Each structure stands twice: as structure tokens, then as C-alpha cells.
Structure 1
Amino acid sequence: MAENYDLAGYLTKCVKAQIKVVFTTLINVKKSDQQVFQRFLSLTKIANKLGMDVYGDVDGTVYEEFGLDKNNREQIMDFFIIELGLKGIRFDCGVSPEDMAKLTHNHQDIKIILNASNPAEEVAYLLSLQAKKSNLVSCWNFYPQRYTASSLSYFTEKITALKASGILSQAFVALQRSDAQGPWQHNDKLPSIEMHRDLSLDFQVRHFVALGVDDIIVSTQFLNDTELMVLTNINLHKITLNLKPAVDITSVEQKILNDQSVHFVRPDLAEYIIRSTFSRLKYHHNDIPVRHFKGKYFEKGDVVILNNNAQNYKGELQIVTKQMANDGIRNLVGHLEESEQSIVACLTPNCEFSFNLAKES
């Protein structure tokens, strides 16, 4: 935490941007360093007053530093809840599954947060110990060192397993500014998955929404007004795709693309395309003339709308997932960049989605 930063003003801005959780760390905080410790207490006091929850990252060294007995559940919870004002405690390491399971049974419903990168069997073991599931959360690591963050495939596998267990998940996104601050001296941005390291904040958040992450935490600080506005404008409850529209789309095609209520993935997934069929019901009576497309094929990432030649299928929207021939019944209305196609890969049967149309530069 920057010593001269206006915490109250900053957190007030965060609340207005619908940010609900502050994630901080107690690791390496010394009780003897009263300036840092009082700064920490000030943070939690202001955040709680604003209605925000503060989650703290701890490990076994924190127990030693603050003289906590890991077998004394009441002492531990009193320290973290009453003295520090935390609403969630993330155990990075050094605390046994048996102790964590016991800590989930607290009357204040404080969240006990696991390290999501630990073996998947840990969650099953905790549940077998009768851990209170509603107070259990699994939080991914952030990775300040380039090339060390998790792969997308491994991350997806773990998130899928957590969802199957009914455990909430958390993961980190990173700001793309060189002056953004992290908790460690070495700071090459702090994402949870490597593919996010150099991608926009907007994409990282939308991708995690699509992957089904429950709590998305910005790992580096401090958010400026532009970044806060980016977060405010993201729909956290629906998959959204940033589309570069074709220059010659018609007003009807633009209406279909901009319609926020009509696009759902058809449940019988096709091999070459993702079909959104409700738009053809809503816009079937509109004229959608054939528009010449010079390409012989549509490519992965192209978005098309079926034209008048498609007859009763006219108005259907499709996202191309595999190269296919242009047979004259589809109009190209836009293209999704490669990173956006990672979000397309998250679209499942009956899933709702919508587009954000990029403005022409």
C-alpha cells in the first residue's frame, strides 16, 4: 500500500465501480512495523465502513509472527475478524486441511479460502472432513514472474472440478501499466494464467466471466479512472464478445448484432459454427439482401448472418469455428480477433451471449 495514497478516496471510487472485495496480504507484514500494520488496519476499517469485504492472504509465518495457536480456533478467528476486520482468510500454505475444515464452521460466515493450485483431491478431502461448503472458496495464485503462470487448459480443468464440487472460485487479472504496483519487488504483471499477461484488462475480465470464475480480483494497483470505467462497463453476468464489424453491414444486421436479449447457443452444437437461432424468429420479416463476399471461404472467427437466400433461416446469426465454404446464403458481418476466440471456446449449449461492437477508428 502506497504510504501517501488516499485510501478512503480510492476505495470510494471502487465502490462506485461496483467493486465489492479488497484482497490484501499479511505475509511478510511484521507486527513490530507499526506504520505498515496501522496502514493495514486503516484499510480494513475504511473498506468495512463502505460495505466492502477484505480478504487477507496468510501462511504459517503469519501465525508465528502474531503469536497465534493454530489449534485455538477461537483465538485465530478473533484475531482475523475482530482485530483485523477480515471477512475472508486465504491460506497460502502451512495450515492443515483438518484445521481449515474446522475454521469453516464459524458463526460470522467468514470465508476460508484455499489455494486453488493445490491438488484437486484437497477439496474432496476437505468436504469429507465436513467442511462448511458455503464458507469455502478456492483462490488461484497470481504469478509476478513471466512464463510461470498457469496454462489455460490446466486452469479450465481446475475450475470445472471446483464447479462440480460446488465451491466458489477466485482468480487474478492484471493491469497493463508499467507503474502498477504489486506486493512483491519483482512485478512483471500478476495474472493467474499466462495468456492474460499482456492482454487488456477488459479481455481478461470478460474471459474469466466466460470461464465461470466467481470472483475476479485485480492483482496490481492502483486502478485509474479509465480502468475503473472499463470494469463498470463489463457485464459480469453474461459472456460478451468484442466484435470488429464489417464496414458495409446494414442497419438490420447491426440491430441483430446489438440485440442484447436474443443470442443463445443452440444446444445441438454444429461442427463448423455456433448457431444463434432466436434472431431469425425476431427478425425474419426484415429484408436482408445478399451482400457480395469475395472470399471463397469463411474463416474461424468470422460472424455471419443468413440473408434472403436462406429463406426460412434468414436472420440467424452464426459464429464460424472452422473454415467453411461460402455458399451464398450468409453475409459477413464481422470478425473476432484470435483472443476473442478463446471466449468463443467457452460457449456451451443454451449459453447466452452478446456482442460489443468496436467503433471505427
Structure 2
Amino acid sequence: MRLGISLYPHLIKANYDLEEYLIKCAKAQIKVIFTTLINVKKDNQELFQRFLTLTKIAHKLGMEVYGDVDDTVYDEFKLDKNNREQIMYFFTTELGLKGIRFDAGVSAEGIAKLTHNHEDIKIILNSSNPAQEIPYLLSLQAKKSNLVACWNFYPQRYTASSLPYFVEKMTILKTEGILSQAFVALQRPDAQGPWQHNDKLPSIEMHRDLPLDFQVRHFVALGVDDIIVSTQFLNDEELTTLNNINLHKITLNLKPSIEITSAEKTILSDQNVHFVRPDLAEYMIRSTFSRLKYRDLDIPPRSFEGKSFAKGDIVILNNKAQNYRGELQIITKQMASDGIRNWVGQLDENEQNIIDCLMPNREFSFNLI
């Protein structure tokens, strides 16, 4: 998985220090830059040079630049969209792009042919509806390794994809082995998007008003390959947030109980011990390695105010559980409290969406907040 940013050359002021910004981004594990050619004009040499400067600096820093194009771009630069050699030469050799996102204007047959290029340039679909496009493209012998499905971002509130729809289409992409991209949104009103109307630009609606940290961790859990911030520019705090996110496993933010013991906190804080047991239980997700690693810890039983545990509750088995002592469980369905489990905290409503991504054998850890 990789992190990305968006840059819109027509909104970058002439005196802006682009190189300094990109150096900061590179230090924050940014590997992908999404940009657009739709607003670039051939006769605007200042803007055109700014675009070339962007790709040159990015390549020097080890970043890949992916550009969004449509019919207006072909018209502006006098390109024949049916001429594969001309398209690839212009976008890759002249402009320095490592991926081309075709918002419109190229047929499925043309897309399939473009994936067969010697430079392994990524051909990116506007694929908020990949179920209809991917099977057909594969039937045309498109090269999978050069095909990427990229979700839209949505400037209008209430118009972005639902989570169930996103999960359904992601399942198709994973089954077919197609790389995926999706956008997360900054929460600052001064963050810039490419259009005049800009209401944070997420790919899925539930993310629109949620913290950047959660959006990225959610997409990590959902298996998105490239997670791209849709608006510019990120400040130092936001870059630090991105840099601190583990892109290789699911992480859950948890505010622990004020009654938690040092032994329980040790189990919760272990970044390497928690895996989803493969035989999924009906009422919970079990992390059983912790009971082996911490079998000698003393975990006295603690009273629980409620009669039952609810989805999102985190419990650790206590001394009464005998050889199961130290096992950590994430409750997924209301169940009775039987005295062998100590309640150590509850995931909030947003974090509970990540629970649904905890499939057998997946590694996870907690960030205690």
C-alpha cells in the first residue's frame, strides 16, 4: 500500500516553493502524486512549465505522477486518441507521467491496448463502477499489472459512494488482481480541490467529515492499494499524521478503561501479537497468541457494570478463565458477561467499521489514545 497527494498546477501560485513541499511529502512516505491536465493550456507556457517542474521534482524524489485526462486534453494538444504511440510518447516521455487516468474519451479496446506498453506505464480507469468494466477489459486481454481502478472523488455532499457498494466493488478488484486507488479528504476549509465547488472530496460518503487518520486507516483495512489525499496542500501536522500510520496492518484507535491494569495494558499495547484466529467465532474476534505470550501475567477478575457486552467492546480473559487467561477478544455481537472477561475499553462507532475488515489471519494492533 502507498500514500499519495493531489496537486493541481493551475491552482499553484507562481511563487510557491513546490520543491520544498514535495521534499516534506517524500519524508512523510508519500509515493504517488495525482494531478490533472484538464486545466493545462498549451499556450500558457508558465502553467505548462509548472507541470513539467512538478513531474521532474517528483521523479527525483522517487514519486510517481499520475495525470487525469479527458477529451479536452486531446483537443488542446492536438492528440489522436486512437494513436497509441502518440499518446504514450506525449504523456510519458514529454510530460513525465508514470500513469494516465482516462476520465473519458478512450474505448475499452483502446484501454486494453494501452496496458501493453514496454515502460509499464499504469493505465488508470475512472472506475467507481468497476464491476461492469473490469471483466470486459480482461476479456480484451488487458495486461493486469498495468491496469489500475481509481475511484472518483465527490465534491458534492451526499453524492459519494456508500460503504457497502465500495466493499462490493473492492471485492471484485481483489478477486481479479487489479490494483486500486481511492481518495481521502482533508478537513480544512482552505484545502483546495480542482473545482469551484469543493466539499472535501472523499471517495466514500461516510468519510466526508471524519479525521484524515481514520479515513486512511479504514482504507488500509479495506485493502486499497493507493490512498490519495484529494485536496492540496497538506500542512506539517497532516503530513506527520500520514507518516505515523501503519500501512501494513489494521490499526484501531482505542480509549482504554480507566480501570485497566498494567498487565492488561501490556497486552493491548503489544504491536506484534494480535492476529485474527482463523475459525471465526459468532460473537467475537479472538486474538489467542496473547494468552501464550502472557500466560504468566496476573489478571484478577474485575466487575462489569453491564449484564452484557456489545459490539466494539474489547475484553481480556482474566484468571478465572484459567488456561485462556490473557486472550484478547473484540466483541462483534451482543453477549452475556460471564465473569471470565475483563472489559478494557470500547471502539467508537467509526472504529467499529474497521472491525468488519478483520478477516481470518489478519494482523491488527491498537493505538491507545
Q: Tell me the TM-score normalized by structure 2.
A: 0.95
Which of the numbers 309, 316, 325 marks the counterpart of 1:314? 325
2:122 aligns to what? 111
Residue 204 of structure 1 pairs with residue 229 of structure 2: no
Residue 246 of structure 1 pairs with residue 257 of structure 2: yes
Flag the 1:171–1:119 CA change in 2: closer, same or farther, 3 A. closer
1:271 aligns to what? 282
How do 1:150-165 residues align onto structure 2 when only pairs under 5 Å count?
150-165=161-176
Q: 1 CA distance for matches of 2:113 and 2:334?
A: 54
CA shift for structure 1 position 36:
1.9
Which of the numbers 53, 77, 80 marks the counterpart of 1:69? 80
Which of the numbers 199, 211, 221 marks the counterpart of 2:232? 221
Over aligned residues, Cα RMSD in angstroms? 1.0
Q: 2 CA distance for matches of 1:118 and 1:292?
A: 50
Flag the 1:109–1:234 CA change in 2: closer, same or farther, 3 A. same
1:190 aligns to what? 201
Q: 1 CA distance for matches of 2:220 and 2:98?
A: 23
Which of the numbers 44, 57, 80 marks the counterpart of 2:55? 44
2:182 aligns to what? 171
Q: 1 CA distance for matches of 2:92 and 2:223?
A: 29
1:147 aligns to what? 158
Residue 85 of structure 1 pairs with residue 79 of structure 2: no
Q: 2 CA distance for matches of 1:282 and 1:126?
A: 49
Q: 2:189 is paired with a residue of what secondary structure?
A: coil
1:181 aligns to what? 192
CA shift for structure 1 position 61:
1.8
CA deviation string 1:10-42 (max 9, x = no partner): 000000011011100111322122222221111
1:335 aligns to what? 346
2:33 aligns to what? 22
Partner amino acid for 1:257? L
Q: 1:245 is paired with a residue of what secondary structure?
A: coil
1:12 aligns to what? 23
Q: 2:192 is paired with a residue of what secondary structure?
A: coil
2:305 aligns to what? 294
Q: 2 CA distance for matches of 1:102 and 1:59?
A: 18
Gap runs ≥5 in structure 1: none
How do 1:53-64 residues align onto structure 2 when only pairs under 5 Å count?
53-64=64-75
Q: Tell me the TM-score normalized by structure 1.
A: 0.97
Partner amino acid for 2:214? F
Q: Percent identity?
A: 79
CA shift for structure 1 position 74:
1.0
1:120 aligns to what? 131
Partner amino acid for 2:167? T
Partner amino acid for 1:35? E
> 2:130, 2:149 within 8 Å by CA — same for their partners in 1?
no
Partner amino acid for 2:18? L
CA shift for structure 1 position 294:
1.6
> 2:283, 2:331 within 8 Å by CA — same for their partners in 1?
yes
Gap runs ≥5 in structure 2: 1-10
The aligned length equals 358
Residue 230 of structure 1 pairs with residue 241 of structure 2: yes
1:346 aligns to what? 357
Q: 1 CA distance for matches of 2:122 and 2:172?
A: 19
> 2:155, 2:197 within 8 Å by CA — same for their partners in 1?
yes
Q: 2:218 is paired with a residue of what secondary structure?
A: helix
Runs of 4+ aligned structure 1 residues displaced above 4 Å come to none
1:2 aligns to what? 12
CA shift for structure 1 position 206:
0.2
Q: 1 CA distance for matches of 2:266 and 2:44?
A: 59
Partner amino acid for 1:67? K
CA shift for structure 1 position 333:
0.7
Q: 1:290 is paired with a residue of what secondary structure?
A: coil
> 2:81, 2:105 within 8 Å by CA — same for their partners in 1?
no
Q: 2 CA distance for matches of 1:130 and 1:293?
A: 59
Flag the 1:301–1:118 CA change in 2: closer, same or farther, 3 A. closer
> 2:166, 2:204 within 8 Å by CA — same for their partners in 1?
yes
> 2:81, 2:87 within 8 Å by CA — same for their partners in 1?
yes
Q: 2:255 is paired with a residue of what secondary structure?
A: strand
CA shift for structure 1 position 286:
1.1
Q: 2:343 is paired with a residue of what secondary structure?
A: strand
Higher-RCO chain (CA-CA 8 Å, sequence separation at least 6): 2
CA shift for structure 1 position 119:
4.6
> 2:129, 2:169 within 8 Å by CA — same for their partners in 1?
no
Q: 2:102 is paired with a residue of what secondary structure?
A: strand
Flag the 1:134–1:119 CA change in 2: closer, same or farther, 3 A. closer
